[in-house]
A = this chain, B = another copy of it.
């Protein structure tokens, strides 16, 4: 039996296949030869289940989508503050090919425009350009879960039209944002953009981000959650160039696009999504890619501002057992869940000392804030004379 999700994805491709408009990128010799009709979509859950449809074996260069993980690597190597001193995290309000350096400092507005991506590349640690590129390639491979390679033809073609990037690199060097040689950085950046991927690769990469930096299949942590959070935040406010506000309002999924026609979307805690179709709109985003994301968001209620109330279910039920009120806790318990538990307990609490139990077995996870709050609750209950038992067979607290 095929999954209804796979069937659904195929239906979406069918519906969007004929959407007209858009042109394959012309500035790059190799990219301009791309088949304008290839079309694919892939969705990967944080558990690693992969759904896909269309030309999923067709590969292409990753282009600007590589900006996300290169920024992640710079953050991991240098720390958030050091990177922030060189690259801001503000939307530029400009088109993707604008220069967008901060007026006084020359600092790029964010790491997802070209100037900021070049700066981020230069902040990746490495003995030389090759070492730096190897480390970037390795991080992409780790996020995807297979060994990726660079497409040398695309790289050669990139280098034939590298004047704009050289301009940006020299500009950054002139204001001391770039610390190494401009040509080396542009070469390395062109290699990073030429990493060869498929749509399922990108969806897996996005799912690793959705999973907070842990690869859904291997369970390997390939980036810290702090780094992933910073990258996703930047994608939220700056990921789709000067159309980011519209994108967040319409689609509501942090995303990043590339001129080869791919777009990735990350729904934290849920899904990674990737679409590929080479014809681009004026902003450099895939025409059909945007359309597919709009469909998925609308049909599947994926908008990040549509998160349903989740605190309610923290107390599965309270049962009386041997003269003790036992609260069965469930789900992922975070601040709102812990607050929910406390409210319930305090509402039930009689004036005189009583016996209370917490059964954590049905719960899946309790995060740090919730552990602290529940710990505080238990301590206070006990100091008020209540008898509290905690049954936590999985050691969640």
Contact = CB atoms under 8 A, between A and B. Distances in A.
Interface of A: 1, 3-5, 7-8, 45-47, 49, 88-94, 99, 109-110, 161, 163-164, 166-171, 173-174, 182, 210-212, 225, 228-230, 232-234, 236-238, 242-246, 248-249, 252, 254, 267-271, 299-313, 316, 330-332, 334-336, 339-340, 342-343, 346, 349, 362, 364-365, 367-369, 373, 376-377, 380-381, 384
B334 A301 contact: yes
A237 B92 CA distance: 12
Contact of A236 (B225, B236, B373): B236
A391 to B, nearest CB: 17
3 smallest CB-CB distances across A and B, nearest first, come from A93-B93, A167-B170, A163-B174
Q: Which of A47, A308, A369 has the most CB of B within 10 A?
A: A308
Nearest to A299: B369
B305 A233 contact: yes
A331 B330 contact: yes
B242 A90 contact: yes
A269 B91 contact: no
Classify the secondary structure of A's interface with B. helix
A340 to B, nearest CB: 7
Contact of A339 (B7, B49, B110): B49
A268 B305 contact: yes
A302 B335 CA distance: 8
A305 B236 contact: yes
Contacts of A306: 212, 225, 229, 268
Nearest to A333: B308
A225 to B, nearest CB: 7
A134 B47 CA distance: 51
A3 B346 contact: yes
B171 A163 contact: yes
A9 to B, nearest CB: 12
Contact of A331 (B93, B254, B303, B331): B331
A251 to B, nearest CB: 9
Contacts of A309: 46-47, 210-212, 269-270, 332
Given A163-B171, A164-B174, A310-B270, A304 B304 contact: yes
